[in-house]
Structure 1
Amino acid sequence: MSAKLPEDAAKPLEFLARHRLAATPQNYTLAYVALSDPGSPIGRAVAEIIAEGYRIKQEEADHILEAHGTTTFFGAYERKNGELSAHLRHQTIKIGELASSAADATGALARELSEEATTLSGGGADSTSIVARMIEHSLQAQARLTAAMDEVKTLREELEAARNDAQRDELTGLANRRAIDAHLAELAEKGEPRVIALCDIDHFKSVNDRYGHGVGDRVIKLVASTLEDACTAQFVGRWGGEEFIVIMPSSDIAAVIKRLNQARQTLADTKFKLRETDEPMGLISFSGGVALAVGGKQANVTALQQADKALYRAKDEGRNCILSA
């Protein structure tokens, strides 16, 4: 008894006949995907060609299959994400195995159909059975490819998370020095004016010496979150140790100073106590220096030097203040 076909099993064959394409495994795959998943890359590419009633030509069909094949996809993905950590590389290998398995299934189907083509043309085989087997193998290959795509999505998410972690300061969650340098380079490339501010926690060494590094870390986190809140939508990073950087794509130095003074005032209005003993810690404050950069990379270097000098002037003039270059 011949295998029973799904109700829409003949539709891909009708599609091929309508467009005068040979009923090869590759063309059948194209037709099946285009009809069953019109939102897929293959489905959209086919739809663009036949939207105005045009027939799809064999060379166009070949191009679509080649452009959206598994080999092209995974090759492009690997090139885009060349620097993977060891555990992510392992996942890539797993995905490659899935893709290879799906490709093997498609290749096996093509070989089987080729072997039976002669028999079919001589009337010695049941065409319904062959098409049914084609459908079954295609669905199996599609399932493997779907699994591979799901793993690719997971891998991309993990890559993005790893990339974000690599650019974040572990203690504060702010941008780290690597991210800061990249952001400054991007602004320099655009050549647009930017205000750069360097801020340093006042008397931080005495905090560490008196209360220990655990309390010192909490103070760093507190100042970091206060600066981030006051400078909403601006770039805030940890420059190093107890020092922070704020970058605003603007030439308005006064606006940056205003935001930094808001952060200073917030700290001044807060009564800090030790968690363990409830002992008052006194004022937590910071000093800052602000400078304007206009131009390329050298402008960043100059502005950072100017901001650093302004910061130390603020320290010399009594701390807990913001000065511009």
Structure 2
Amino acid sequence: MGAAKEARLIAVEERADTVYDCIRAFLTFHRLSPDPVHYAFAHHVLCNPDGALARSVTTLTEGGIRLSTRDIEALGGGTGSQMVPHSVGRVTGGAESDAADRLVAQTQIQVEGFSDMMRSMRAETANFGRDLAASTDAVRGAAAGADVVRLATVMLDRVQSAEARLAAATREADQLRAKLEEARGDARRDSLTGLPNRRAFEEAFAEHSATGECGCLAVCDVDRFKRVNDQFGHSVGDRVLRAIALALREACTGHFVARYGGEEFVILFKGADIAEAHATLERARVTVAAKRYRLRETDMPLGAVTFSGGIAVAEPGEALCSVFGRADRFLYRAKDSGRNNLCSDGIFD
């Protein structure tokens, strides 16, 4: 092999190592599993930093926000040059909530910087004030130093006043930071049920997938929910959703329960095998089915409310779309079997 050819091969290998490292860092930061779709997406963004896709990613992640699987799908997450950004709005929350979320993130960064600056200034002025007070005591007995003492006293009063104002500003900044943290939490919480929402679930699944730990994913759907809404109204439907959310949360303590959208709920059973996940969700199903609901206003019986569910094993590193698709197919099999039951990998009720 010629020296020039060997040098070119070495250069190619070094560049490949750099690309691999960059892609790994990208996937790690955004807590994305290393499946082919995510790898191809990261490769396209990093190797075309001035392209439309990279610009869209920059807009979405401004303020330190991480990408989700749904974001990648919205941006045309496929392979190679066919990736075209459909929009820069997040699928899971709508354009307005996404803009608000980015604004919250940006404001939080600004507030944290302001708070740190206030603490630094306060420390500096405190040190200056102590030095100034010590100097004033040193010249207090000298007649020639009378003017210096008077000036130093005035300056010391001003420094102490500034310290008080900085302390108040620091407290306000800390309070605002806490409120912003609460707002960021609200952006990942379903307002109706109080459960984590779809975005929070996707982030939790990505974090779990990155650990390489086994688990199971369940998809649940309220049976004949449209009939409840049509017959009794949406306010009653909302109460039904809250009741089922409470039952799932209580039965699945220690696992991640979220409202995925509409009458659909998802549960991530971390570290559980299919038998354990099935038994846990079965307890919730039996609890819900055993209750007999009545209308609060008229005491008229609403009857039984039930849900069906599908459960699939989440293999280490498996993409959410893959696991969710299998669990969803099990859910429809449970629906086709008469509703009010569960269907899982290797287990049928």
| TM norm. shorter chain > 0.5 | yes
The structure 1 residue matched to 2:197, chosen from 169, 176, 191, is 176
Aligned partner letter, 2:342: I
Deviation, 1:299, is 3.4
* Contact 2:104-2:184 within 8 A present in 1 as well: no
What are the equivalent positions in structure 2 for 1:69-108 lying under 5 Å apart?
83-84=103-104
The structure 2 residue matched to 1:137, chosen from 139, 158, 161, is 158
TM-score using structure 2 length: 0.59
Which whole-Å deviations, capped at 9, do the CAs of 1:37-70 have from their partners, x for residues lacking one? xxxxxxxxxxxxxxxxxxxxxxxxxxxxxxxxxx
Structure 2: distance between partners of 1:123 and 1:294: 85
Aligned partner letter, 1:312: Y
Structure 1: distance between partners of 2:120 and 2:225: 58
| Alignment partner of 1:311 is 2:319 | no
Query: Which stretch shifts more, 127-136 or 209-218?
Result: 127-136
Q: Which residue is 1:236 aligned to?
A: 257
| Alignment partner of 1:185 is 2:201 | no
Structure 1: distance between partners of 2:341 and 2:263: 16
The structure 2 residue matched to 1:211, chosen from 232, 245, 250, is 232
Secondary structure (helix, strand or coil) at the match of 2:194 reads: coil
Deviation, 1:133, is 4.2
Q: Which residue is 1:167 aligned to?
A: 188
Query: Which stretch shifts more, 82-91 or 135-144?
Result: 82-91
Deviation, 1:98, is 7.8
TM-score using structure 1 length: 0.63
Secondary structure (helix, strand or coil) at the match of 1:245 reads: strand
* Contact 2:104-2:183 within 8 A present in 1 as well: no
Deviation, 1:99, is 8.4
Stretches of 4+ aligned residues off by more than 6 angstroms: 85-106
Structure 1 or 2, whichever has the larger Rg, is: 1
Which whole-Å deviations, capped at 9, do the CAs of 1:9-48 have from their partners, x for residues lacking one? xxxxxxxxxxxxxxxxxxxxxxxxxxxxxxxxxxxxxxxx
What are the equivalent positions in structure 2 for 1:108-123 lying under 5 Å apart?
none
Structure 2: distance between partners of 1:182 and 1:89: 21
Structure 1: distance between partners of 2:106 and 2:151: 44
Secondary structure (helix, strand or coil) at the match of 1:275 reads: coil
| Alignment partner of 1:322 is 2:317 | no
Deviation, 1:89, is 9.8
Secondary structure (helix, strand or coil) at the match of 1:287 reads: strand
Structure 2: distance between partners of 1:224 and 1:267: 10
Query: Which stretch shifts more, 88-97 or 231-240?
Result: 88-97
Secondary structure (helix, strand or coil) at the match of 1:281 reads: strand
Unaligned runs of 5+ in 1: 1-80
* Contact 1:234-1:246 within 8 A present in 2 as well: yes
Aligned partner letter, 1:277: T
Q: Which residue is 1:274 aligned to?
A: 295
The structure 2 residue matched to 1:196, chosen from 211, 217, 231, is 217
Structure 2: distance between partners of 1:242 and 1:255: 24
Which whole-Å deviations, capped at 9, do the CAs of 1:86-141 have from their partners, x for residues lacking one? 998998999799889979989x98xx99xx9xx99x98323654554454333222
Unaligned runs of 5+ in 2: 1-100
* Contact 2:115-2:174 within 8 A present in 1 as well: no
RMSD over equivalenced CA pairs, Å: 3.9
* Contact 2:219-2:311 within 8 A present in 1 as well: yes
Secondary structure (helix, strand or coil) at the match of 1:239 reads: strand
Query: Which stretch shifts more, 241-250 or 266-275?
Result: 266-275
Structure 2: distance between partners of 1:82 and 1:217: 29
Query: Which stretch shifts more, 89-98 or 315-324?
Result: 89-98
